[in-house]
Amino acid sequence: MQTKDLQKLGITKASSVLLIYPHPDDETFANAGLIQELSEAGVKFKVMVLTKGEASTLYFGRYKGVLSDVREKEFDSVMQFLGVPSYEILGYKDKHLENELNLGDFLTQEVREFKATHIVTYEPCGIYGHPDHVYLSELLTSISKYTQTSLVYSTVPRSYKIPQAGLAMAKNPKLIKPLTPTVILPLSVKQYFKKLKAITLYESQYSNKSSLISGIEHLVLFTKEYYHCSVLTKEL
């Protein structure tokens, strides 16, 4: 990925980009390459994660203590590893974002205070239908229109086979059809291996034997990042 690739997303050095996701590791799985490029290009950006992922059923490794604390520390380590200058992890309840009545007002204020020109988040199906992914995408879609902020959806290629374990979280699995990418950004060799390393830093979620890392499909998937851009608005 190069600076010219950012321009395909409508992002320039004058942009202000907010990457907003429900759980720690979402941002790395979807955007570790983009994050590296934003940092290298000197673009103002911030990564926000709304929950501490305490409801995850995955818990690899030999860790003691509360899962939310473990995942918060992992998120901090990953952000430092990727060179993110500004990041925040909040304490909204995992798997219950749709019950957070004031979340929309909070995020609208964040977008305005950051003077964001672009919001990056999951596409409307949340890739595999996780309720938090879907709700946050819906919420940010509305906020982007209200604040006239360009919206960049993270998605997957049409060939991607959604794991059944993921679809099991969806309210209606038959309706899960991720948006087709409009922009495909190739990662450099350096960005690719740094992304893989960043994912493995979430040790509680991905063991060395995890199919996410060892599966050939995912190793190929991570060589590129896939985006669907809404109609880009004029930067504020």
Contact call for residues 24 and 75 (beta carbons, < 8 A): yes
Quick one: CA torsion of 134, 31, 194, 162, rounded to 10 degrees?
40
* Comparison of pLDDT for 60 and 234, the residue scoring more: 60
**Which pLDDT tens digit goes with each residue over 138-196?**
999 999 999 999 999 999 999 998 988 889 889 999 999 999 999 999 999 999 999 99
Reported pTM: 0.91
Domain map of the chain by residue range? 15-227
**CATH superfamily to which 15-227 belongs:** LmbE-like (3.40.50.10320)
Residue 112 has pLDDT above 80, yes or no: yes
DSSP the chain: --HHHHHHTT--TT-EEEEEESSTTHHHHHHHHHHHHHHHHT-EEEEEEEE--TT-S---SS--S-HHHHHHHHHHHHHHHHT-SSEEEEEEPTT-GGG-TTHHHHHHHHHHHHT-SEEEEE-TTHHHH-HHHHHHHHHHHHHHHHHT-EEEEEE--TT----HHHHTTSSSGGG--PPPPSEEEEPPHHHHHHHHHHHHT-TTT--TT-HHHH-HHHHHHTTEEEEEE-PPPPP-
